[in-house]
């Protein structure tokens, strides 16, 4: 254990944990939105936007505390990067849900559910690991390994979806079908960005682990 001559502010662990907890809420709402093809989608989208605003507030609290704290539990640039990456996860999930409603998409390819399932699991793992950064045990290492595996799974689902969109005759039948293809691609791109954002969080955690171990 390192000996410190000055006290450090350990509140960052709780603040980052609170920020990550919003990701689970967001992933829950996104899954419900994707799984519903009726009028309830608008309600889920509204709740998802509210969750994104709350997550923004949590991110701002981390940055506010960072600006007011002299001694931090680890490098302040790493704290900033972690808070920003967590924020990116929520932003991308909210964008995906918003696009489904704005584009009035009713029928989504089944593989979209695979993308959302990966995001939900990533959110749960991320929320679970944030309080454990205080001790930097082996469970932290297993976290980023699993997130990387999930991101690879999301990549495969994304590529399969692109192949379905561009090779299927359904989206080549008319100009309207081409427009629908473009709308669907926007949604799956946002979901892929969310998976990438979760991997960036894991990369930040790995960096912290290597520095602090």
| Model pLDDT, residue 9 | 54
Kindly report the CATH class assigned to 11-212.
mainly alpha
- Tokens at 12, concatenated: 């960052």
Rg of the chain over Cα atoms, rounded to whole angstroms, equals 19
How distant, in Å, are the alpha carbons of 4, 12, 83, 210 from that of 8? 8, 10, 18, 20
Global pTM exceeds 0.85: yes
Maximum separation of any 2 CA atoms in the chain, in Å:
71
Per-position pLDDT tens, the chain of length 213: 443 433 455 788 899 999 999 999 999 999 999 998 888 999 999 999 999 999 999 999 999 998 887 777 888 889 999 999 999 999 999 999 999 999 999 889 988 999 999 999 999 999 999 999 988 878 899 999 999 999 999 999 999 999 988 887 777 778 888 999 999 999 999 999 999 999 999 999 999 888 877
- Tokens at 190, concatenated: 């946002």
Q: Please give the sequence-ordered ranges of beta strands (E in DSSP) within 105-153, or none if there are none.
A: none
Domain parsing of the chain, residue ranges: 11-212
DSSP for 178-210 reads: HHHHHHHHHHHHHHHHHHHHHHHHHHHHHHHHH
- Tokens at 126, concatenated: 């991320």
Taken as a whole, the chain contains a residue count of 213
- Tokens at 25, concatenated: 């809420």
């Amino acid at each position: 254990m390192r000996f410190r001559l000055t006290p450090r502010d350990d509140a960052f662990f709780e603040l980052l944990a609170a920020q990550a907890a919003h990701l689970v809420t967001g992933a829950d709402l996104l899954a419900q939105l994707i799984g519903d093809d009726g009028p309830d989608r608008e309600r889920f989208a509204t709740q998802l936007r509210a969750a994104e605003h709350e997550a923004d507030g949590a991110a701002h609290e981390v940055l506010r505390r960072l600006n007011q704290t002299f001694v931090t539990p680890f490098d302040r640039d790493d704290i900033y990067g972690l808070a920003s990456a967590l924020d990116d996860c929520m932003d991308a999930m909210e964008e995906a849900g918003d696009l489904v409603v704005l584009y009035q998409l009713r029928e989504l390819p089944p593989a979209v559910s695979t993308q959302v399932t990966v995001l939900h699991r990533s959110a749960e793992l991320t929320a679970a690991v944030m309080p454990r950064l205080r001790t930097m045990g082996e469970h932290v290492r297993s976290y980023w390994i699993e997130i990387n595996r999930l991101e690879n799974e999301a990549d495969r689902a994304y590529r399969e979806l692109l192949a379905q969109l561009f090779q299927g005759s359904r989206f080549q039948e008319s100009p309207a079908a081409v427009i629908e293809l473009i709308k669907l691609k926007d949604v799956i791109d946002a979901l892929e960005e969310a998976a990438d954002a979760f991997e960036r969080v894991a990369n930040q955690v790995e960096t912290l682990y290597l520095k602090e171990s």
